[in-house]
Amino acid sequence: GENVEQHPSTLSVQEGDSAVIKCTYSDSASNYFPWYKQELGKRPQLIIDIRSNVGEKKDQRIAVTLNKTAKHFSLHITETQPEDSAVYFCAASRGASYDKVIFGPGTSLSVIP
Amino acid sequence: DGGITQSPKYLFRKEGQNVTLSCEQNLNHDAMYWYRQDPGQGLRLIYYSQIVNDFQKGDIAEGYSVSREKKESFPLTVTSAQKNPTAFYLCASMAPGQSYEQYFGPGTRLTVT
C-alpha cells in the first residue's frame, strides 16, 4: 500500500542554524504534499504545501522542494528559532478532493537557544 | 479556536468496554477523518468519510466503527475488539474545492486499563 517515510526521526539544531527534513513516498500518483507542524499538546497545523506541478515553494523562513522523479520532497527551515521546536509531519495524497492523506512518522525538531 | 471540536479531552475505560469519541465541525466541510497517533508512528488513518451516510476504511480500521448521519458529526467507536486501544485520537475535516488542507481537532487521549 501507500507509504511515506521520513528522516530523521529527531533533529537538534542551534538557534539560527538551518534544519532539513526529508521524505519519500511510494504512490507515484501522489501530487499533493503538505507539511504539518504539531507543537507539544496541540493539534497539527498546515505550515506549507506543494503540488506536483512545481519543484519548490517558499514562505518566509520555510521552503519545500519536490523531486517527482525520485519521489522525495524536503522541508527546509532557515534561521531557526526556539518556537520552531515541534514535531513535523510530511504527507502525500493524490490531491483529489477528499482523498486520503498518508502521513510520515514525524520528525521531532529541537532548536537550542 | 472553534471549527472542529472533540470531546472529551481525556477518556478512561476498562478493558472490554466499547467507547465512543465525539467529533463535531461547524466548517461546512464534507470530508472528515479519524487518525490514531502513537509515539514514533505518526498519524495513521482509521476511517474517513467523504459525504453523509458514506465512509471508507483506512489503514487500521480493525476494532473501530464510525457513523456519518450528519454532515457536522463523525463519531468513532472503539470496540472491545481493538487489541491496543490506548492512544491519542485526532479527528480532521477537509474543505471542498482547491484547498486540500486538513483541519484537526484538539484530540482525545484514550486510556484503557
For residue A37, the chain B residues in CB contact (below 8 A) are none
pLDDT at B20: 95
pLDDT at B39: 80
Of A100, A91, A18, nearest in space to B42 by CA: A91
Segment A8-55, tens digit of pLDDT:
999 999 999 999 999 999 999 999 999 999 998 889 999 999 998 889
A56: three-class secondary structure by DSSP = strand
pLDDT band of residue A98 (cuts 50, 70, 90) is low
At residue A85, does pLDDT exceed 70? yes
Of residues B2 and A27, the one with the higher pLDDT is: A27
Residue of A1, A43, A105 lying closest to B107 (CB–CB): A43
At residue B1, does pLDDT exceed 60? no
User: How many Cα neighbours within 13 Å face the side chain of B81?
Assistant: 7
Segment B54-102, tens digit of pLDDT:
999 999 999 999 999 999 999 999 999 899 999 999 999 987 676 788 9
Task: Output the nine-digit C-alpha cell for A71.
Answer: 519521489
Residues 7-36 of chain A with CB under 8 A from chain B are 9, 32, 34, 36
Strand pairing class (A62-67; B43-51): unpaired
Task: Output the nine-digit C-alpha cell for A17.
Answer: 542554524
Best probe of the B interface among A30, A101, A108, by most B CBs < 10 A, is A101
pLDDT at B99: 72
At residue B105, does pLDDT exceed 90? yes
Alpha-carbon span B47 to B23, nearest angstrom: 13
CB contact under 8 Å between A105 and B35, yes or no, is no
- Provide mean pLDDT across the span A80-99: 89
Alpha-carbon span A43 to B101, nearest angstrom: 14
